[in-house]
Amino acid sequence: MTILVIAEHNNAELNAATLNTVAAATAIGGDIELLVAGEGCSAVAEAAAKVAGVTKVLLADNAAYAHQLPENISLLIAEIGKGHSHILASASTNGKNYLPRVAALLDVDQISEIIAVESADTFKRPIYAGNAIATVQSSASVKVITVRSTGFDAVSAEGGSASVENVSSAQDAGTSSFVSEELAKSDRPELAGAKIVVSGGRGMQNGENFEMLYKLADKIGAAVGASRAAVDAGFVPNDMQVGQTGKIVAPNLYIAVGISGAIQHLAGMKDSKVIVAINKDEDAPIFQVADYGLTADLFEAVPELESKI
C-alpha cells in the first residue's frame, strides 16, 4: 500500500497542517509519498523530506501549479495518484478545492474531513454540523480523503530522510488563471494550530472593540477568531470565522466572548480541551458546552481578565 499525501504550502514553507495529514496516513499504514506541487518550492520539498514517516517526496515545480489552481493540480494528482491506495489532503480551502476534482477524475467518491481512521478502508467523519459522527467504509480502488487536522496529532517535522524525486509533468487545463490574492497579515499564531483561541461575536458591537480581544490574545499568546455574525457585520475578515462552514479549531483553551453558541459555531470549536464563555445572557447556549461560564458584560469582564490573567 502506498499513500499519496498532498503537501499544503505557500511555495516557501510547508504548512503545519500537512503534519496532521501525514499522521492520518500513518494511522492507515503503508509507504507515504508526499507530493509538493507548486512553483519555486524546492525549499518546501526539503522540509517535506524531513517529515517523520515520509518515504519519498515528489516535487512538481512548474508555473502551472504556482497558485494551486484546482483545474491544473487535480490533473497532476490524478495522474500520479491513480496507482496509489489512498490520496490524502488537508481539509483546508486548498484541499477542499482540488481534491473532489481528483476523485471525480478517478471516478471514485471522496470522503470529506475524516477525524479518525478505523482501518485502511473505514473512517469516521462528522456530519450535520458535528451533531452526528458517521463511520463510512469505502470500496474504491483509490480512496480519496480530506483530513480534518484537529482529528490527528501532528507527526514530527524532523527525523525523516526521504529522497526527493522530480516530477516533470506540467498539466495546464487552460480554463483558469490566477488574478490576485489578499492575505491577512498577523503576528499572532495561526487560528488552525493555535494553543489558545479568543473569539468574539456579535456582542463585540464593532471592529474597534475587537482591540480588546487582540490585547488579551497578545498577553496569552492566543489567536483571534470570530463568529459568523461578527464577520458578516464586517467587524473582522472572513478568514477569522470559526464554525461548521469556517475554520475548525481544537485548542487547549477557547474563550468565546459575546457569542451565543449556535450549532454552526459549536461545530467549529466544541472539541477544544477547555472552553470559557463570557456572555451577559445566562441562558446563552454557549454555556452548555463551556467548562467555565461567566455571566457578565464583556466590556467589563474582558479588560479585567486581560489585566489579571
Partner 1 sequence: MKILVAVKRVVDYNVKVRVKADNSGVDLANVKMSMNPFCEIAVEEAVRLKEKGVATEIIAVSVGPTAAQEQLRTALALGADRAILVESTEDLSSLSIAKLLKAVVDKEQPQLVILGKQAIDSDNNQTGQMLAALSGYGQGTFASAVVVEGDRVKVTREIDGGAQTVDLKLPAIVTTDLRLNEPRYASLPNIMKAKKKPMETLKPEELGVSTASTLKTVKVEAPAARSAGIMVKSVDELVDKLKNEAKVI
Residue ranges for the known binding site for FAD are 202, 227-228, 241-245, 258-265, 279
Residues sharing a CB contact under 8 Å with residue 176, sequence separation 6 or more, in sequence order: 69, 70, 71, 72
- The amino acid present at 266, given as its one-letter code, is L
Of residues 262 through 301, those in contact with ligand FAD by CB under 6 A are 262, 264-265, 268, 279-281, 284, 297-299
Interface residue with ligand FAD, options 245, 252, 288, 307 (CB under 6 A): 245
C-alpha distances in angstroms, 214 versus 194, 236, 277, 286, 297? 14, 12, 17, 21, 18
**The binder of ligand FAD chosen from 44, 230, 255, 275 (CB under 6 A):** 230
User: What Å distances lie between residue 179 and 8, 106, 192, CA to CA?
Assistant: 20, 29, 26
188 interface partner picked from ligand FAD, partner 1, none, CB below 5 to 8 A per type:
none
Contact call for residue 171 and ligand FAD (CB under 6 A): no
Establish if 229 lies at the interface with ligand FAD (CB under 6 A): yes
163 binds, among ligand FAD, partner 1, none (CB under 5 to 8 A by kind): none
Which of residues 130, 246, 251, 293 is near ligand FAD by CB under 6 A? Answer: 246
Distance between CA 235 and CA 302 in Å, rounded?
Answer: 17
Task: Select the residue interacting with partner 1 from 20, 21, 227, 244 (CB under 8 A).
Answer: 244
Residue 128 touches which of partner 1, ligand FAD, none (Cβ within 5-8 Å per kind) = partner 1
Of 59, 27, 26, 87, which Cα lies nearest the Cα of 163? 59
Interaction of residue 167 with partner 1, rule CB under 8 A: no
Q: Which stretch binds ligand FAD (CB under 6 A): 67-75, 156-164, 208-216, 224-232?
A: 224-232
Report the alpha-carbon distance of residue 51 to residue 22 in Å, rounded. Answer: 9
Q: What is the dihedral of CA 296, 302, 307, 309, to 10 degrees?
A: 80
According to CB under 8 A, which residues from 108 to 137 bind partner 1?
108-113, 122, 126-137
Smallest gap from residue 56 Cβ to partner 1 (A): 26
Q: What does the alpha-carbon distance between residue 35 and residue 139 come to, in Å, rounded to a whole number?
A: 24
Query: Does 96 interact with ligand FAD (rule: CB under 6 A)?
Result: no
Least Cα distance to 291 among 270, 307, 308, 306 occurs for: 270
Q: Rank residues 1 and 134 by Cβ distance to partner 1 and give the closer one.
A: 134
Residue that is written with C-alpha cell 478517478 in the block: 106
Distance of alpha carbon 306 from the chain centroid:
28
Q: How far is the CB of 60 from partner 1 (least distance, A)?
A: 19
Answer yes or no whether residue 295 interacts with partner 1 by CB under 8 A.
yes
Q: How far apart are CB 155 and partner 1 at their closest, in Å? A: 21
Separation between Cα atoms, residue 21 and residue 44, nearest integer Å: 16
Residue 233 binds ligand FAD (CB under 6 A): no
Give dist(CA 12, CA 131) in Å, integer: 38
In the bound state with partner 1, the residue whose beta carbon lies nearer, of 26 and 74, is 74
Kindly list the residues in this chain that would bind ligand FAD in the complex (CB under 6 A): 201-203, 227-230, 241-246, 258-260, 262, 264-265, 268, 279-281, 284, 297-299
